[in-house]
């Protein structure tokens, strides 16, 4: 079964005050679709049909660079779209809020660490909030389309529940080179109810 581009749960212009319609359209229809197309070809070439996306990434060191780059691109963007909303829940509740307070000193502390992870990422990449294999929360940045799920990530492995795309294609039309302004805008469309759901799913899988 081939991988497919997920539909956005909102219109392309729904986040327009923060993420413009043209960027959202190009980002979803061209960039993400390109990752899906290339992943399907890489899976076919490698005889990997039937593998789930998560299993491919957990064992990605065994596979081609095309699987790593495009599998990561598909996973990362699918998560990214799912945690954005034109009418977001603006703060987490317990139990996620309790863990954020414990590990980051509160929501402002988490925002600062994630923002810094995004700003410090040289070139293209992502900033993550993820659940480590011991159940604790952590923040990290990764290059290109890598993520904490991949077994190539030797120091920051775990299960992503929040990802921020800091590739220039995610923000350049509206924010040009002002990555900090884009990251600031991200918090206005981040839906904590979606992040809480991801957190619950991860904990249930332990």
- For residue 77, the domain's CATH number is 1.10.287.990
Q: Which domain covers residue 62, as residue numbers? A: 21-82
Tell whether 88 is covered by a domain.
Answer: no
**Would residue 103 count as lying in a domain?**
yes
Query: For position 67, what pLDDT does the model report?
Result: 98
Residue position matching structure tokens 């593998």 = 51
Query: What residues form DSSP beta bridges with 126?
Result: 142, 165
Residues 104, 69 share a domain: no
Q: Does 195 fall in a domain? A: yes
Continuous H helices in the chain: 21-26, 33-46, 53-58, 65-82, 96-104, 107-120, 172-175, 179-189, 192-205
User: What pLDDT score was predicted for residue 206?
Assistant: 84
Residues 71 and 139 in one domain: no
Q: Kindly state whether residues 78 and 129 are assigned to the same domain.
A: no
Residues 106 and 191 in one domain: yes
The string of DSSP letters for 109-143 reads HHHHHHHHHHHH--SSEEEEEEEETTS-EEEEEEE
Whether residue 118 is found in the same domain as residue 200: yes
CA–CA gap between residue 4 and residue 168 (Å, rounded): 24
Q: Length of the chain, please?
A: 206
Residue 123 lies inside a defined structural domain of this protein: yes
User: In this structure, are 100 and 50 located in the same domain?
Assistant: no
Counting the structural domains of the chain, the total is 2
Segment-wise mean pLDDT, segments of 10 residues, the chain, 206 residues: 94 98 98 98 97 97 98 98 98 98 98 98 97 97 98 93 98 98 98 98 93
164 lies in some domain: yes
Residues 6+ apart with CB under 8 A from 96: 192, 195, 196, 199
Do residues 138 and 114 share a domain?
Answer: yes
Q: What is the pLDDT of residue 154?
A: 85
**Does residue 7 form part of some domain?**
no
Residues 72, 115 within the same domain: no
Domain contains 89: no
């Amino acid at each position: 079964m081939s991988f497919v581009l997920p539909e956005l749960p909102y219109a392309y212009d729904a986040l327009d005050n923060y993420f413009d319609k043209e960027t959202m359209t190009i980002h979803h229809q061209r960039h993400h679709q390109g990752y899906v197309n290339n992943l399907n070809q890489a899976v076919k070439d490698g005889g990997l049909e039937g593998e789930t996306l998560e299993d491919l990434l957990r064992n990605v060191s065994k596979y081609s660079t095309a699987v790593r780059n495009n599998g990561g691109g598909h996973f990362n963007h699918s998560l990214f779209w799912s945690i954005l909303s034109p009418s977001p829940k603006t703060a987490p509740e317990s139990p996620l809020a309790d863990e954020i307070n414990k590990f980051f000193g509160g929501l402002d502390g988490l925002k600062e660490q994630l923002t810094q992870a995004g700003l410090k990422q040289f070139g293209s990449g992502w900033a993550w909030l993820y659940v480590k294999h011991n159940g604790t929360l952590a923040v990290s940045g990764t290059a290109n389309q890598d993520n904490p799920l991949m077994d190539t990530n030797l120091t920051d492995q775990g299960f992503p529940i929040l990802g921020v795309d800091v590739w220039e294609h995610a923000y350049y039309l509206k924010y040009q080179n002002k990555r900090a302004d884009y990251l600031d805008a991200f918090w206005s469309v981040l839906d904590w109810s979606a992040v809480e759901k991801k957190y619950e799913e991860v904990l249930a899988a332990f």
